[in-house]
């Protein structure tokens, strides 16, 4: 003979059965090929498109820290023809190489690689060098 089942126990078993049934149904739908079934593919975050900065903007945001008059740490100040003359005599390609790769001068000056902003492209750094040369 069976022991009597209480009403509370039977309600609990019934509720548990419904819960398990719903979980199984959801699991079955997730694995189906039904186009109406919910899809759980990860959504990629949109990538921001960033336009390259102009040479003047790179100067204004990065290079200005050392190249703003009167110049800091041996850096030639923007517009200081006397300070730029020996550097310009080495040629534009040398100045660009120093800006891209870094440089330690004999007089104690230090040019960090890409001005310390390794996230900038070579083209942005070259644009900044060209901007400073034009000044």
Each residue's pLDDT tens digit, 17-60: 666 766 666 665 555 555 555 556 567 777 776 789 999 999 99
Q: Measure CA of the first residue to CA of the last residue in the chain; give whole Å.
A: 103
Contacts of 59 (CB under 8 A, 6+ apart): 67, 78, 128, 131, 132
Note the pLDDT tens digit of each residue in 72-131.
888 999 999 999 999 999 999 999 999 999 988 776 678 999 999 999 999 999 999 999
The reported pTM is 0.62
Distance between CA atoms of residues 18 and 10, nearest Å: 12
- Count of C-beta atoms within a 10 Å radius of residue 115: 23
Which carries the bigger pLDDT value, residue 64 or residue 39? 64
- Residue 37's pLDDT is 52
Backbone angles phi, psi at 64, to 5 degrees: -60, -25
């Amino acid at each position: 003979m069976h022991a009597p089942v209480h009403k509370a126990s039977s309600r609990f078993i019934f509720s548990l059965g419904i819960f398990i049934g719903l979980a199984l149904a959801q699991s079955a739908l997730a694995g189906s090929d039904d186009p109406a079934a919910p899809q759980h593919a990860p959504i990629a975050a949109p990538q921001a498109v960033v336009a390259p900065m102009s040479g003047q903007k790179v100067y204004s945001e990065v290079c200005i820290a050392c190249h703003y008059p009167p110049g800091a740490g041996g850096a030639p100040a923007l517009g200081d023809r006397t300070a730029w003359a020996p550097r310009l005599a080495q040629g534009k390609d040398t100045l660009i190489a120093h800006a891209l790769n870094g440089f330690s001068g004999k007089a104690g000056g230090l040019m960090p690689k890409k001005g310390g902003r390794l996230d900038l492209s070579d083209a942005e750094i070259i644009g900044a060098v060209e901007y400073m040369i034009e000044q």
